[in-house]
């Protein structure tokens, strides 16, 4: 089955999720531990996901994507992460790139890249963070200097997923002077074969072993002016607009990974006998399982609420996405960590897969904006003159997702 955008009934939605679930169970889950151990990037499995429609999940159909809304998208990423949170998170980043090109690119850029990205015959990477500019994205120093009909890019990007594997890089660079702030930032499409593009060594990470993370280095790299994505000076706005979807996706990945860990913990405590009875008979274990399930369900509802806000183009969508990302990634890590604790020493062994999920989900609290930045976004919105009123009205206007 190929995923399509015509989701009008619960049966159609379940059919889509069933196809994604089958992909996760056959292409991701059986190899997750081995890929983690070998640091193996599953190119062919990803391309088979592209055949299913996973390379452009919320890219418009007329551009060659699947065209789903964000509510259906987060459900898809939750299912993918049950198979392997590492690969699900990479598919999220890839989809952000495809969406940015579809949304802000011109006809030539869409024609060149969307079909290949949607099919995952080419991969995409998003280059925003720098060694000296993480949470303060407006402080980026990578420069893009105009030289006739070209721009010359010089600088370094840090923590770039897919670096060295991708066919195209969305690069956020400074076209204004050093004091221009967010207004002096633009976005560019850099192909993998561009002269002056190179990569640092593979980062040795706590988790996410099956996707490559490297520095991306621009040494006097030249791109034609036509490589600019959107208008000059709009790069920061473009970069930030992509993050609502990215935050929802990574939150959904936390849900999927944590749900997988919880399911394993439930099975384990029913089978494991201690002091003459199954662990499941002990009240403290029951309370722990109940709290884990409750936290995940609360997080799931918040993620759906954020997704609905994006679908509805709600004025407070950024705040609701930030709340969902913060809550779901914290809850996901905590639930996975509790699942490890319930397994005792076995949870610490690689063969059980629990410790892998704990390692993978930990970074979700950092990327797409740290959870401290999510709190800043929410707090500042609430303290704006109309903040509290808009929050209350949003809850009243969207009771189905409140």
The residues annotated as belonging to the active site are: 368
Cα(251)–Cα(254) distance, rounded to whole angstroms?
Answer: 5
Which SS3 state, helix, strand or coil, does residue 206 take?
Answer: coil
Best CA proximity match to 93, nearest among 260, 305, 247: 247
Q: Cβ atoms within 10 A of the Cβ of 140, count?
A: 26
Cα–Cα distance list, 80 to 19, 39, 263 (Å): 11, 19, 15
Structure-token pair, residue 30 = 């059986």
Best CA proximity match to 166, nearest among 113, 239, 226: 113
Q: How many residues does the chain have?
A: 402
> Any residues with CB less than 8 A from the CB of 287 and at least 6 apart, and which?
none
Q: What are phi and psi of 224, to 5 degrees?
A: -65, 155
Judge contact between 362 and 329, C-beta under 8 A: no
Cα–Cα distance list, 341 to 156, 174, 400 (Å): 40, 46, 36
For the chain, report the end-to-end CA distance as a whole number of angstroms.
33
Cα–Cα distance list, 161 to 68, 208, 304, 319 (Å): 24, 10, 26, 26
Alpha helices in 272-316 (DSSP H): 283-311
Q: What are phi and psi of 222, to 5 degrees?
A: -105, 130
Cα(348)–Cα(330) distance, rounded to whole angstroms?
Answer: 20
């Amino acid at each position: 089955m190929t995923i399509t955008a015509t989701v009008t009934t619960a049966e159609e939605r379940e059919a889509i999720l069933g196809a994604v679930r089958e992909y996760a169970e056959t292409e991701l889950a059986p190899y997750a531990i081995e890929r983690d151990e070998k640091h193996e990037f599953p190119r062919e499995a990803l391309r088979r996901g592209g055949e299913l429609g996973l390379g452009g999940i919320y890219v418009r159909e007329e551009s060659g994507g699947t065209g789903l809304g964000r509510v259906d998208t987060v459900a898809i990423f939750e299912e993918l992460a049950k198979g392997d949170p590492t690969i699900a998170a990479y598919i999220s980043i890839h989809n952000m790139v495809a969406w940015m090109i579809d949304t802000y690119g011109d006809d030539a850029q869409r024609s060149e890249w969307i079909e290949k990205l949607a099919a995952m015959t080419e991969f995409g990477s998003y280059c925003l963070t720098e060694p000296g500019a993480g949470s303060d994205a407006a402080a980026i120093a990578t420069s893009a200097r105009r030289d006739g009909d070209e721009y010359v890019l010089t600088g370094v990007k840090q923590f770039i997923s897919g670096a060295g594997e991708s066919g195209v890089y969305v690069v956020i660079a400074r076209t204004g002077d050093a004091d221009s702030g967010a207004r002096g930032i633009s976005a560019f499409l850099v192909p993998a074969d561009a002269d002056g593009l190179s990569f640092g060594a593979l980062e040795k990470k706590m988790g996410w072993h099956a996707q490559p993370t490297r520095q991306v280095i621009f040494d006097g790299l030249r791109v034609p002016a036509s490589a600019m994505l959107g208008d000059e000076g709009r790069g920061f706005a473009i970069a930030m607009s992509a993050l609502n979807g990215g935050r929802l996706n990574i939150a959904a990945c936390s849900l999927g990974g944590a749900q997988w860990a919880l399911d394993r913990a439930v099975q384990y405590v029913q089978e494991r006998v201690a002091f003459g009875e199954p662990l499941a008979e002990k009240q403290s274990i029951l309370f722990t399982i109940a709290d884990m399930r409750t936290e995940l369900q609360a997080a799931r509802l918040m993620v759906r609420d954020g997704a609905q806000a994006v679908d509805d183009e709600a004025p407070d969508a950024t705040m609701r996405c930030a709340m969902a990302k913060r809550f779901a990634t914290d809850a996901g890590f905590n639930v996975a960590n509790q699942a490890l604790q319930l397994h005792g020493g076995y949870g610490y062994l690689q063969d059980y897969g629990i410790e892998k999920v704990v390692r993978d989900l930990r970074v979700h609290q950092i990327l797409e904006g740290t959870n401290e930045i999510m709190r800043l976004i929410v707090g500042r919105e609430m303290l704006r003159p109309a903040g509290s009123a808009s929050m209350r009205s949003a809850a009243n206007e969207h009771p189905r997702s409140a």
